Chain A
Amino acid sequence: MKLALRELWRRPGRFAVATAILALIALLLMVLGGLLDGLVAGSTGALRAQRGQLIVYSSTSQESLVRSHITPSVRKEVEGVAGVSRVAGIGSVQLGARIDGHGPRDLVPVVLFGYELAPKGLPDAVPAYGEVYADDSLHAEGVKKGSTIRLGPARTPVRVIGFLQDSRYSGQGTLWGSLATWRSVLASNRPGERAGDGVDQALVVRVAGADAGGQASAIDRATSGATKTLTIPQAIDALPGVSQQQTVFNQIIGITVVIALVVVGLFFALITVERIGLYGVLKAVGASSGILFAGVLVQALVVTLIASAIGVAVSLALAAAIPSGSIPFVATPSRLLTSTAYLLIAALLGCAFSLRRVLKVDPAAAIGGEQ
């Protein structure tokens, strides 16, 4: 063990290139993962922030909030379902926001939500007409408490009275106000999508008991199929692109891990070949294959850990350096840790290729030139 570590300290140059490559691969894994996390977080925050377990869309909406339409009569039916403890309307509209300090053509895309049941991080009381809470990502756009934001072509003003975290939607910052605020902003700016009085886009439903899935079908039965009710995780999966993004990115991450495995395998196979003479001598003086291979593993782990540390440092630096809005990149501790874990596993497996070679070293070869 000590032998392996000493070699690392005494001959860092020999491990430098492999460490550099692994650091790049570590960074690649973390960037890929961070992009995925950023994309997913930015498009699902508003749903994850909901305090209900279920979300009710109209059945014609294809599980899309903007196209969903819940009439007051349907809402009554949902409220009548046994086990439903709270039904709250929700609505959304995507608009360009004019924010003080921005140029006349420099609009910030935002999604305004109208709600009855406060999302996580907000007080239970719904804000007064014309007042909204803002997602804290809008801080970067110069939004402050007390700022007035003008929404859409009608320049409908709303005043920011506070902030909440992690509530982004479609990759955009969000504003949260009352349903009345939402209906009025929608009607002024999107005449084609006007919602009549009492009409909500969707319903957020809280149920008593643990069987949210069972309640979902009960709701859809009660409305005779006029609704399509999803649990919040199902609704997140139904967001356009989210599950595809996850699949594609995870596949790319998987192949990148395989490449790391090949690199580690190749590097330590070559290093082992170089050491056959040395291993012969060590075996002749009584070292077991196990202890020699353990040395290879220790080196692989140390090299991978150093590479991962570099990857983590660069990822954090990238996350800090990337201007908000240009690349949806976040560096979360869990992502950095899992990337490191993947690399360590790849390194261990990669080393396994060298095991056979270490076992094959014949201590008798250390002596003489015969045979």
Chain B
Amino acid sequence: MNQITKIFAIGFLVFQSLVIFQLLPKQVNYESYAVEVILRIFFTVSKVNHAYDFFTSESDLKEYTYTSNKVVLYQLSGDSIDTHTISNEGSITYLVNPINRTRIAHLQNIATNDTLLYSAIVRSEAIHFLAEHPSYSVIGFDVLKHRCKAKIMDSQFVLETQVDTVFSNLFSMIE
């Protein structure tokens, strides 16, 4: 029993150290598909291949960025257009409990860094919100990237933000 736990502890900590100190190759071309699957399962269960560089990243070396959303539902009503804004203060994180806001914010961030994922996520969100508000037929998504800098004025930091629209899409359930 002791031997098994000792071997596990040493193996786990040594592997984790190698990952943290970047002593392992970032990508390996596996000769065998079976080996790739086995390793994938091993890493999924053990999570030993993860580095823990929270609040740090290559992009953060240059500037601090965050994303915000504007999600609006539209419906023709005679000559005018009815609108219903789903996002609040530039975010859909307000739709969920405060405990879960970070999870939605994280989703927004990863989606803007991956076009394919963004496309899938935005379409999924569009279907959800249109199904939730069946009286509206069109939904608009604007994703804004906020590039932030802190300038010092009178010995205090002052926030300077430059906002760019990175995605702007309209979706409809009408065929």
* B and A form one assembly: no
B interface, CB within 8 angstroms of A: none
A interface, CB within 8 angstroms of B: none
